[in-house]
């Protein structure tokens, strides 16, 4: 499980935390962790890391990434001055914490042709029609469909391809027309898309808001509480 630990002892001198009663200190780190939880959700909404750098975009499509992960964050308090952000199990095959860690740090993994065939079979790709992207690729590679006369061929429209070929057939034809060596295994690189954590300014703001929320904001002004 991926966790973010907020250690209040690092900021005790600056915020006079030692003067707070134990229960107030516990509430403070809990509220600060809640602020960092909100911050993780903001990073996902903005599709950027804690320093404001945009994530590597998808290779295909423009759908936002990791939208469901912040909803699975939960707060634990294993000690007096420590709060942790961890992940619930979630509904995916892998634990949400494992998925978050993979995206947070990036990962390179190997895929085999056999495993891809098993996945394709389980997803019902023999019944799934060819996609428009596959159809465009087939036309680009010069694919022709059978003509009205025996032995004749004619250009295939996008509609004909998506209406007469399934996903698996289109994929096989693309590989054949490309005439590329058949790969048995290859690597897929997942770029890092960090959303957990905070920069120094964000951590200060999290503590400022947390102090204000427990009515101990004696040295906190509105400017310190503003987000970037």
171-198 confidence digits (pLDDT tens) = 889 988 988 777 788 899 999 999 999 9
Helix (H) or strand (E) holding 187, with range, is strand 185-190
Q: Where are the domains of the chain?
A: 4-106+192-225, 111-188
Q: Is the pLDDT of residue 124 over 70?
A: no
Higher pLDDT, 114 or 201: 201
- What's the CA gap between 212 and 224, in Å, rounded? 11
CA distances for 146 relative to 86, 140, 152, 153, angstroms: 57, 17, 6, 4
Q: Is the pLDDT of residue 118 over 80?
A: no
pLDDT of residue 126: 62
**Confidence band for 121, pLDDT divided at 50, 70 and 90:** low
From first CA to last CA, the distance across the chain in angstroms is: 29
pLDDT of residue 24: 81
What's the whole-number mean pLDDT along residues 64-76? 94
Average pLDDT, the chain: 82
Which region, left, alpha or beta, applies to residue 166 given φ > 0 means left and ψ of -120 to 50 means alpha?
Answer: beta
Higher pLDDT, 182 or 203: 203
**What token pair was written down for 104?**
């947070």
Percent of the chain having pLDDT more than 70? 82
């Amino acid at each position: 499980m991926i966790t973010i630990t907020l250690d209040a002892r690092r900021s005790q001198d600056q915020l006079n935390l030692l003067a707070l009663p134990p229960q107030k200190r516990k509430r403070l780190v809990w509220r600060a962790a809640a602020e960092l939880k909100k911050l993780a959700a903001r990073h996902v909404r903005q599709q950027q890391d804690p320093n404001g750098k945009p994530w590597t975009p998808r290779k295909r499509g423009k759908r936002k990434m990791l939208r469901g992960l912040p909803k699975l964050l939960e707060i634990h308090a294993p000690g007096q001055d420590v709060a942790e952000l961890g992940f619930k199990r979630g509904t995916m095959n892998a634990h949400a914490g494992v998925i978050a860690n993979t995206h947070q740090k990036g990962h390179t993994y190997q895929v085999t042709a056999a495993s891809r065939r098993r996945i394709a079979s389980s997803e019902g790709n023999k019944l799934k029609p060819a996609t428009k992207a596959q159809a465009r690729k087939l036309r680009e590679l010069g694919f022709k469909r059978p003509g009205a006369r025996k032995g004749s061929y004619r250009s295939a429209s996008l509609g004909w391809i998506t209406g007469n070929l399934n996903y698996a057939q289109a994929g096989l034809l693309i590989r054949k027309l490309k005439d590329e060596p058949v790969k048995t295994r290859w690597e897929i690189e997942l770029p890092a898309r960090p959303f957990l954590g905070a920069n120094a300014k964000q951590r200060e703001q999290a503590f400022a808001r947390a102090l204000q929320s427990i009515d101990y904001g004696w040295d906190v002004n509105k400017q310190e509480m503003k987000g970037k």
